Amino acid sequence: MAELTVSKRSRGVTIVTLNRPDKRNALNAALVSQLLAAFDEAVSDQVRLLVFAGEGKSLCSGFDLSSLDEESEGDLLLRFVQIETLLFKIFGAPFVTLAIGKGTTLGAGADLFAACDRRIALSDFRIGFPGAGFGLVLGTARLIDRVGGDAARHLVRSGDIVDAEAALRMGLATDRVEADALEQLIERDMVAASRLDRETVQAIHRVSMSDGSQELAALVRSAARPGLKTRIRAYMAAARARPANS
């Protein structure tokens, strides 16, 4: 089964669906590479609206760390850099981007959600940014752009998971809808996305962007600090020890 499916619709709409439902669409190395390729193809295809969705119960549960013992710290660093590259591209895309948030969406999956222009929370959506728990600095600048400095720092420091209503109140989500209203919303956003040419859309995105070097440098420094795998193992052990509803 393909780990990523791409559906090209009429009028410049492409839907990219993460397709690892048994892993809650966790980002392994192959899926990250496929996401980068799908984004670059969307740029070439003159897409006007790029939608990110997840098969199964969740948009994305973050990085897949199930093969931690088989991966070197260099392997992990490469995957982290690739996802930061993807997020930077999404944030400055020459088209409108939309993420459909459902289930518990965490870590790099939450960063993917936050990087998009339109951030749709379904009723069961919950989101959190736990990566700082193992020393990783990823996506914080984009999160600040969405929710402001104080709220972003709190979400990153605490690792709190917030529900759809809270995400909407703080500006992390742009809309909250029921699943049966999703197609109508995509249709509406498709019309809005077609109003401006792609050069103008990209220029609007770039107004609020840095060149990405500071974010990438912060990520690399945090991931390259000695003991990354030890920190990840400690974080995973602590997560397993927490009550399931915490």
What are 55-83's pLDDT values in tens digits?
999 999 999 999 999 999 999 999 999 99
pLDDT value for 244: 59
Say whether pTM exceeds 0.75: yes
CATH of 4-179, picked from 3.90.226.10, 3.20.80.10, 3.40.190.10, 3.20.20.80, is 3.90.226.10
Task: Give the other-Cβ count within 10 Å of 133's Cβ.
Answer: 19
Confidence of residue 2 (pLDDT cuts 50, 70, 90): confident
Task: Give the other-Cβ count within 10 Å of 207's Cβ.
Answer: 7
Distances (CA, A) of 82 to 26, 77, 173, 191, 206: 15, 9, 24, 31, 20
Question: Is residue 31 a contact partner of residue 3, using CB atoms and an 8 Å limit?
Answer: yes
| Residue 245 pLDDT exceeds 70 | no
List alpha helices for the chain, DSSP H. Answer: 29-44, 73-91, 107-115, 140-147, 149-158, 164-169, 182-193, 198-207, 213-224, 228-241
For the chain, the structural domain boundaries read: 4-179
pLDDT value for 14: 97
pLDDT value for 210: 72
| Residue 243 pLDDT exceeds 80 | no
d(CA 88, CA 108): 13
Across the chain, what does the average pLDDT equal? 92
| Residue 149 pLDDT exceeds 90 | yes
d(CA 126, CA 82): 25
Residues 173-195 pLDDT 10s? 999 999 999 999 999 999 999 99
The residues, any chain, with a CB within 8 Å of residue 30's CB and separated by 6 or more, are: 3
Structure tokens at 55: 């098969």
% residues pLDDT > 70 (the chain): 97
